Amino acid sequence: MFNKILSPMLLKEVDKPFKDDNYIFELKYDGIRTLFYVSPKTFKLITRNGNDLADIYPELKSVQNIVGKHKVIFDGEIVAFKNGKPSFSELQHRNHLKNTSKIKLMINEIPVYFVVFDIIYLDKDLTNLTLMERKKILNDFKDTDIFIKTKMYDDGLKLFNHIKKIGLEGIVAKQKDSKYILGKRVENWVKIKNFKKEYFYVYGFTKLKDKFALYLGEYKNKKLIPVGKVSVMPDNDVLRVVQKQKKVKNIFIDITEDINFVEPINKILVHYMERTLNNTLRQPFIRRN
């Protein structure tokens, strides 16, 4: 198992937080989900897509110091912080670097951490143990400056209300007796995201395979700035309105897509996680009634 490229257990998404004595609750970190293979001779950071990020985040190699002579696979997230909060946008500055000199420079400018919430291998397969049994084994490994174990909470409602106040990404809920099922999205591990929501102007639309895309913008200094697009169903009310509008010319120099441009006079409420480095909405969607 230690010599194979594995896929992590995945979470289903639910809309509302809850409290259940059969579950533990943890913060959801906005980072890169990673299976961390580590031993005295091994250092691999395997993503959900099977890519190894060890060369991009070489500072995490120091975790070898805490595992001794053991062979271990941890499950967690590579996380960067900005203003004390996890920031995927900050992590993007490092995630696509390939130049060794630039990577070494960015170690100090944008430090990363491995936030660990599970262990699936310790010299043998641990996936048939329950979550709480695995957590007990994980607790034997001490936190360091860059290796941080997640804290468990027993009330998902209180935890979600807290993260909403401070603006974190969301929470996860995991059944205490759940076994680890590699590569599967399961019912007893769920995530509840803290989506932001704002109204944006619609300046265009286009037909997708079985949906439509609405192109979104916001005004800054009386100038319309694009923030991305969101997919909608054909029966969306705003889509029906803009489809009837008179088409206008493209006012953007750097947009060359085949879009039906309209005058940006209609707004739509969009939920999204955060904005990327170029001000594009991450994971935007329209909540249906």
31-40, 46-55, 97-106, 262-271: the lowest-pLDDT one: 97-106
Alpha-carbon gap, residue 243 to 260, rounded angstroms: 9
Average pLDDT of the residues of the chain = 94
Percent of the chain surpassing pLDDT 70: 100
C-alpha span between 270 and 198 (Å, rounded): 6
Pairing of strands 260-272, 196-207: antiparallel
The structure's pTM equals 0.82
255 torsion bin: left (phi>0), alpha (psi -120 to 50), beta (else): beta
Share of the chain above pLDDT 90, in %: 82
pLDDT in tens, 130-173: 999 999 999 999 999 999 999 999 999 999 999 999 989 899 99
Cα(107)–Cα(213) distance, integer angstroms: 39
Of the listed ranges 8-17, 97-106, 153-162, the one predicted with least confidence = 97-106
Close Cβ partners of 125 (under 8 Å, ≥ 6 residues apart): 1
- Which sign, positive or negative, has the C-alpha torsion 93, 94, 95, 98? positive
Q: What are phi and psi of 179, to 5 degrees?
A: -90, 165
Amino acid at 181: I
Residues 233, 231: Cα–Cα separation, whole Å: 7
pLDDT of residue 289 exceeding 80, the answer is no
Neighbours of 281 (CB within 10 A): 21
How many other C-beta atoms are found inside a 10 Å radius of the C-beta of residue 285? 14
Q: Choose among 85, 88, 76, 109: nearest CA to 31.
A: 88
Instruction: Tell me the HSE value of 113 on the side-chain side, using a 13 A CA sphere.
Output: 21
Q: How many CB atoms lie within 10 A of CB 111?
A: 14
Q: How confident is the model at residue 93 (pLDDT cuts 50, 70, 90)?
A: confident
Could you report the per-residue pLDDT of 181-210, keeping only the tens digit for each? 999 999 999 999 998 889 999 999 999 989
39-43: average pLDDT = 97
For 193, the token pair is: 């995201």
Per-residue pLDDT averaged across 239-250, rounded?
94
Phi, psi of 109 (to 5 degrees): -75, -45
Which of 116, 183, 174, 102 is CA-nearest to residue 147? 116
Confidence category of residue 19, pLDDT binned at 50, 70, 90: very high
